[in-house]
């Protein structure tokens, strides 16, 4: 597993970054790349929950994000061939975390159906969910990506 991270502190302007690439405001970025296997899901969801806790999400939202990441990784691992790579990119803004996870897939693999129970669960756990097939790069397999957005405070239904 490899990861890339950036300073947590929100206040220092976010000017200098290691690679010199322009980075948006003070968002924390973290990327995990691993074999698409169920055994790593526990680690990934723990990272998600830890990011949310340190971003001061309310406890419901921390737990929702943990479950959402667990579910979306499970969905992706299910459609991935045995030797595929799973990639999770976390972007933690002040009041919002975006998780974009993707796997390599065989030609013709469809994104998960949005009318499934699993998708319904994701929609309830996250504030926004989307799935897309990423454009294929030359000599690479196609990838399917699920993106979830979670806000720091879970709005209460009346």
Partner 1 sequence: MTPSVSSVGTEQGEYAHLVPLQRRYAELDPNDPERPGLREQLINGYLPVAEHIARRFAGRGEPLDDLMQVATVGLINAVDRFEPGRGSDFFSFAVPTITGEVRRYFRDHGWSTRVPRRLKDLHIAIRSALAELSQQLGRAPRPSEIADRLGLPVAEVIEGLQAGEAYRSSSLDEMLGSGEGKATLGEFIGGLDGELALIDDREALRPLLAQLPPRERTIIALRFFRQLTQTQIAEQVGISQMHVSRVLRQTLAYLHEQMAGSD
Where does this chain bind partner 1 (CB under 8 A)? Answer: 50, 53-54, 56-64, 67, 70-71, 74, 78, 113, 115-118, 120-121, 124, 152-154, 156-157
Q: Which is nearer to partner 1, 66 or 87 (CB)?
A: 66
- Contact between 150 and 52 under an 8 Å Cβ cutoff? The reply is yes
Q: Which is nearer to partner 1, 4 or 74 (CB)?
A: 74
Q: Using CA atoms, how far apart are residues 92 and 118, in angstroms rounded to an integer?
A: 24
37 forms beta bridges with none
Residue 131 CA from chain centroid, whole number: 12
Closest approach, Cβ 60 to partner 1, in A, equals 4
Closest approach, Cβ 136 to partner 1, in A, equals 27
Sheet holding 85-92, edge to edge: 2-4, 28-35, 85-92, 96-105, 142-151, 128-134
Closest approach, Cβ 120 to partner 1, in A, equals 6
Q: Which is nearer to partner 1, 2 or 157 (CB)?
A: 157
């Amino acid at each position: 597993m490899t990861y890339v991270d950036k300073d947590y502190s929100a206040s220092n302007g976010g000017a200098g970054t290691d690679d010199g690439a322009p980075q948006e405001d003070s968002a924390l970025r973290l990327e995990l790349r691993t074999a698409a296997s169920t055994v790593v899901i526990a680690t990934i969801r723990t990272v998600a929950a830890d990011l949310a806790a340190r971003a001061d999400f309310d406890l419901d939202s921390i737990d929702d994000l943990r479950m959402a990441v667990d579910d979306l990784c499970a969905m992706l691992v299910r459609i991935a061939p045995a030797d595929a790579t799973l990639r999770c990119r976390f972007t933690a803004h002040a009041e919002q975390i975006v998780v974009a996870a993707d796997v390599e897939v065989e030609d013709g693999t469809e994104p998960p159906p949005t009318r499934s129970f699993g998708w319904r669960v994701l929609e309830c756990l996250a504030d926004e969910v989307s799935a897309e097939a990423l454009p294929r790069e030359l000599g690479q397999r196609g990838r399917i990506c699920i993106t979830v957005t979670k806000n720091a405070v879970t709005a209460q239904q009346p």
